[in-house]
A and B are shown apart, each in its own frame.
Chain A
Amino acid sequence: MDLQSFIQSGLLESYLLGQCTRGERALVEQMLAEHPEAVRAEMAAIEQALEGYAQSQAIAPPTGLKGQIMAAIGRESNPLYKPSGSRSLMPAALLVLALLAAIAGWLFFQKNKMADENAALGKQVADIELRLQNCDQSNQDLRDIIQVLRDPDTRPVKIGSGGGADQKVQTYVFSNTNPERCKVLLDMAGLPAADGGYFQMWAIVDGKPQSMGMIDPKTPGGLQEFDCLPNAVAYAISVEDKPEGNPTPTTVLMVGAL
Chain B
Amino acid sequence: MQDQLIIRLKQQDRAAIGELYDAYNGALYGVVLRIVQSPELAQQVLQDTFVKAWRNATSYDAAKGRLFTWLLNIARNTAIDATRTAHYQNSRKTDNLDGLVHQPGGNTLNTDVLGVREVVDSLDEKYKLLIDLVYFQGYTQEEAAEETGIPLGTIKTRLRYAIGELRKVFTATLLAAAASLSQLAAWASGTAQ
- Give chain A's interface residues, CB within 8 Å of chain B: 8, 10, 13-14, 16-19, 29, 32, 40, 43-63, 65-70, 72-74, 76, 78-80
Check B14 against A46 for contact (C-beta < 8 Å). no
CB distance from A78 to the nearest CB of B (A): 6
Q: Can you list 27 A-B pairs with a CB-CB distance of less than 8 A?
A: A17-B134, A19-B140, A19-B141, A29-B64, A43-B65, A45-B167, A48-B170, A50-B72, A50-B135, A52-B120, A52-B174, A52-B178, A55-B178, A58-B27, A58-B29, A58-B30, A59-B100, A60-B106, A61-B25, A62-B39, A65-B43, A66-B25, A69-B21, A70-B21, A72-B51, A73-B14, A73-B50
Contact for B116 among A44, A45, A52, CB less than 8 A = A52
Q: Determine how close the nearest CB of chain A comes to the CB of B123; give it in whole angstroms.
A: 9
Which residue of the partner chain B has the closest CB to A19? B140
| B55 interface contact, C-beta 8 A | yes
Q: Considering the complex, which residues of chain B in the window 66-96 have a beta carbon less than 8 Å from any beta carbon of chain A?
A: 66, 68-69, 72-73, 76-77
From the candidates B50, B117, B163, name the one contacting A49 in the complex (CB within 8 A). B163
Q: How far is the CA of A61 from the CA of B41 in the complex (A)?
A: 12
Q: Considering the chains assembled together, what is the distance between the CA atoms of A67 and B120 in angstroms?
A: 31
The 4 closest A-B pairs by CB, nearest first: A52-B170, A58-B26, A49-B166, A54-B27
User: B35 on the interface (CB 8 Å rule)?
Assistant: no
Complex contact A61–B116 (CB within 8 A): no
- Asked whether B42 is an interface residue with its Cβ less than 8 Å from the other chain, the reply is yes
Asked if A78 and B166 make an inter-chain contact with CB atoms under 8 angstroms apart, the answer reads: no
A130 to B31, CA, bound (A): 79
A179 to chain B, nearest CB (A): 87
CA distance A67 to B101 in the complex (A): 22
- A53-B120, A60-B29 known; A73 vs B17 contact (CB < 8 Å): yes
CB distance from B140 to the nearest CB of A (A): 5
Is there contact, CB below 8 Å, between A59 and B30?
Answer: yes
Additional A-B contacts beyond A50-B163, A52-B111 (11; CB < 8 A): A52-B120, A53-B131, A55-B27, A55-B110, A57-B30, A58-B29, A61-B43, A70-B14, A73-B14, A73-B51, A76-B54
Q: Identify the closest chain A residue to B18 (Cβ).
A: A70
Q: Within 8 Å CB of A72, what residues of B?
A: 47, 50-51
Chain A: minimal CB distance from B50 (Å): 5
Task: Tell me the bound Cα distance from A19 to B135 in angstroms.
Answer: 9
Residues in B with CB closer than 8 Å to A51 are: 27, 66, 68-69, 72, 170, 175
Q: Which residues of B contact A16 (CB under 8 A)?
A: 65, 69
Residues in B lying within 8 Å of A, measured CB to CB: 11-12, 14, 17-18, 21-22, 25-31, 33-34, 39, 42-43, 46-47, 50-51, 54-55, 58, 63-66, 68-69, 72-73, 76-77, 100-101, 103, 106-111, 116-117, 120, 131, 134-136, 138, 140-141, 156, 159-160, 163-164, 166-167, 169-172, 174-175, 178, 186, 189, 191, 193
B111 to chain A, nearest CB (A): 5
Do A49 and B140 touch across chains, with their CB atoms under 8 A apart? no
Task: Judge whether A48 and B175 touch: CB under 8 Å.
Answer: yes
CA distance A29 to B73 in the complex (A): 18
CB <8 Å contact, B107 and A59: yes
Which of B100, B138, B170 is in CB contact (< 8 Å) with A18? B138
A176 to chain B, nearest CB (A): 87
Chain A residues within 8 Å of B66, by CB: 44, 47-48, 51
B108–chain A nearest beta-carbon distance, Å: 7
Residue of B nearest to A70 (CB): B18
Nearest chain A CB to B183's CB is how many angstroms away?
12
| Nearest chain B residue, comparing its CB with the CB of A14 | B141
Contact indicator A19/B134 (Cβ below 8 Å): yes
Q: Which residues of A contact B21 (CB under 8 A)?
A: 66, 69-70
Known A-B contacts A56-B111, A60-B25; the reply to A50 vs B46 at CB < 8 A is no
- Which of A10, A43, A63 makes the CB contact (< 8 A) with B160? A10
Q: Are B69 and A60 in contact (CB under 8 A)?
A: no
Cβ-defined contact, B47 with A65, below 8 A: yes
